[in-house]
């Protein structure tokens, strides 16, 4: 294997949220984004509305609340982008051996150790990210603004206000949908909310915004999604897609790769994911990618 390939695989596997002395902003080389993704973690306290069996962000308990420093978030974003634009980043240890085309800036992405839409500063952070995009698009290229979310707070007034800024131009929501039935939803996402509410939120969101669905397929302590569970999941996808096909970006299927919140949550074989992908594309005209 060439050094470039090794570096790329190492970078794909490295999802640590640490970059120099930063507290909020971290770069990753993202397979899904297709290049450099600059993440914004608004949840160093791991606060989330779900408690997914497969959560790979580390334990949710025993974190003190962390107040959001909006100025610091913006400063870290602008500093990293200035570093990117200077060209110096290409030679720093983190990026040095990554192929040139894989380290092009693809997005600024709200994706943290919890649910970004929970924080009350969400609208203001979105507004500032959009300002950065406006300021920098000509020199840095047409990067996207993205929200990665579990979908639980889509439709909330403050969240909608934030999305109005964030998704004004070249923006996308990447939202989680892991279940076809309430039973599997409770098992995998372990939220006090109901699947019906999440589905309603996703249908509302796709009316206005480009939406990508991200789905985790895994073995939870010896239980895997059954044939009929997958069938119900595809029915859910159909409803979301049917609401506004033009805004349906794609489905991303993935499995566990790191340490999980619950013990004995393990990956499913690629063949399982491929079989689910085939069932989806047989019923809905959508792109499905497997990670």
Task: Find all residues with CB under 8 Å of 56, minimum gap 6, and list them.
Answer: 15, 256, 257, 258, 259, 260, 261
Which CB atom, from 51 or from 161, has the smaller least distance to ligand SF4? 51
DSSP string computed for 47-80: --S---TT--S---SS-------HHHHHHHHHHH
Please pick, from the candidates 24, 26, 50, 233, the single residue that binds ligand SF4 as defined by CB under 6 A.
50
Minimum separation from the CB atom of position 114 to ligand SF4 (A): 5
Q: How far apart are the first and last CA of the chain?
A: 20
Write down the least CB distance from residue 222 to ligand SF4, Å: 20
Does residue 175 interact with ligand SF4 by CB under 6 A? no
Q: Between 89 and 128, how does the x/- string for binding to ligand SF4 read (CB under 6 A)?
A: -------------------------xx-------------
Query: Considering beta carbons, is residue 98 or 202 the nearer one to ligand SF4?
Result: 202
Q: Are 173 and 203 contacting, i.e. CB atoms less than 8 angstroms apart?
A: no
Least separation in angstroms between residue 2's CB and ligand SF4 is 33
Instruction: State in angstroms the smallest separation of the CB of 97 from ligand SF4.
Output: 30
48 binds ligand SF4 (CB under 6 A): yes
Q: What does the DSSP 8-state code read for residue 269? A: P
Using CA atoms in the order 9, 145, 157, 188, what is the torsion angle rounded to 10 degrees? -10
Based on the shown chain and the rule CB under 6 A, indicate whether residue 240 belongs to the binding site for ligand SF4: no
Neighbouring CB atoms inside 10 A of 95's CB total 19
| Contact code string over 52-81 relative to ligand SF4, x by CB under 6 A | x--x-x------------------------
Phi then psi for 216, rounded to 5 degrees? -90, 130
SS3 category, 250: strand
The region of 43-51, 133-141, 198-206, 251-259 touching ligand SF4 under the rule CB under 6 A is 43-51
Q: What's phi and psi for 289, nearest 5 deg?
A: -115, 145
Binding residues among 139-158 for ligand SF4 as defined by CB under 6 A: 150
The residues of the shown chain that bind ligand SF4, judged by CB under 6 A, are 48, 50-52, 55, 57, 114-115, 150
């Amino acid at each position: 294997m060439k050094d470039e390939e090794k570096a790329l695989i190492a970078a794909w596997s490295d999802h640590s949220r640490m970059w120099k002395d930063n507290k909020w902003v971290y770069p990753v080389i993202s397979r899904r984004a297709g290049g450099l993704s600059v993440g914004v973690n608004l949840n160093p306290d791991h606060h989330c509305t779900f408690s997914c069996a497969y959560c790979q962000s580390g334990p949710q308990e025993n974190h003190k609340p962390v107040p959001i420093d909006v100025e610091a978030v913006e400063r870290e974003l602008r500093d990293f982008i200035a570093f990117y634009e200077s060209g110096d980043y290409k030679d720093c240890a983190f990026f040095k051996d990554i192929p040139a085309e894989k380290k092009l800036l693809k997005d600024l992405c709200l994706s943290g150790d919890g649910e970004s839409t929970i924080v009350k500063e969400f609208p203001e952070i979105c507004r500032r990210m959009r300002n950065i995009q406006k300021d920098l698009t000509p020199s840095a290229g047409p990067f996207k603004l993205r929200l990665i979310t579990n979908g639980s707070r889509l439709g909330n007034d403050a969240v909608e206000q934030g999305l109005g800024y964030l998704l004004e131009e070249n923006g996308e929501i990447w939202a989680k949908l892991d279940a076809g039935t309430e039973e599997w939803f409770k098992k995998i996402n372990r939220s006090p909310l109901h699947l019906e509410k999440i589905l309603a939120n996703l249908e509302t969101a796709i009316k206005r915004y480009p939406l990508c669905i991200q789905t985790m397929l895994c073995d939870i302590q010896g239980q895997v999604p059954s044939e009929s569970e997958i069938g119900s999941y595809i029915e859910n996808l159909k409803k979301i897609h049917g609401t506004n096909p033009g805004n349906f970006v794609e489905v991303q299927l993935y499995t566990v790769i790191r340490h999980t919140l619950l013990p004995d949550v393990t990956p499913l074989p690629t063949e399982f994911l491929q079989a689910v992908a085939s069932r989806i594309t047989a019923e809905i005209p959508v792109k499905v990618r497997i990670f």
